[in-house]
Amino acid sequence: MASLIKDRSPSPQLDVEINLLRELLRDLERVRVGQHPGRRVLDDAPVLENWETTVRTEPCLTGIVHGHPRIRDRRTTITSQLWLLAPTLGYARTLSRFYALGEPAFAPEDRH
């Protein structure tokens, strides 16, 4: 779930996500260089039987983008997974980058 940032004060609620992402990054870097999980790690891991891949919905933003490094200006886009939303501070952080927020599609009072 994305964390809503309301002002410029510290955001200690991000500690859990930061630790999870650090652990993920550590594991990805190990696998990248050929250090795959050993028997001890997998023996302690939960077992998933009858598994298959699927898709789940993640919070994201959609809107008309300007100044994106890979998407032409004035194109409607959907961002990667939303991590931080700070509308009063004018920004959002997705998995891949920061976005400066322009005008919302709806005024806050229009959403019910």
Q: Please, what are the averages of pLDDT over each run of 10 residues along the chain (112 residues)?
A: 88 90 93 92 85 84 91 90 92 91 81 54
pLDDT at 70: 86
Cβ-based burial of 46 (10 A; exposed 0-12, middle 13-18, buried ≥19):
exposed
pLDDT at 110: 61
Full residue range of the structural domain in which residue 91 is found: 12-110
Query: Is 1 a member of any domain?
Result: no
Element (H, E) at 64: strand 62-65
Query: Is 101 a member of any domain?
Result: yes
pLDDT at 49: 86
Q: CA 93, CA 99: separation in Å to the nearest integer?
A: 6
Query: Is 69 a member of any domain?
Result: yes
Number of domains in the chain: 1
Query: Is 4 a member of any domain?
Result: no
Joined together, the tokens standing for residue 110 give 């229009």
Query: Is 66 a member of any domain?
Result: yes
Chain centroid to CA 76: 19
Query: Is 2 a member of any domain?
Result: no
pLDDT at 1: 66
pLDDT at 17: 87
Q: What is the pTM of this model?
A: 0.71
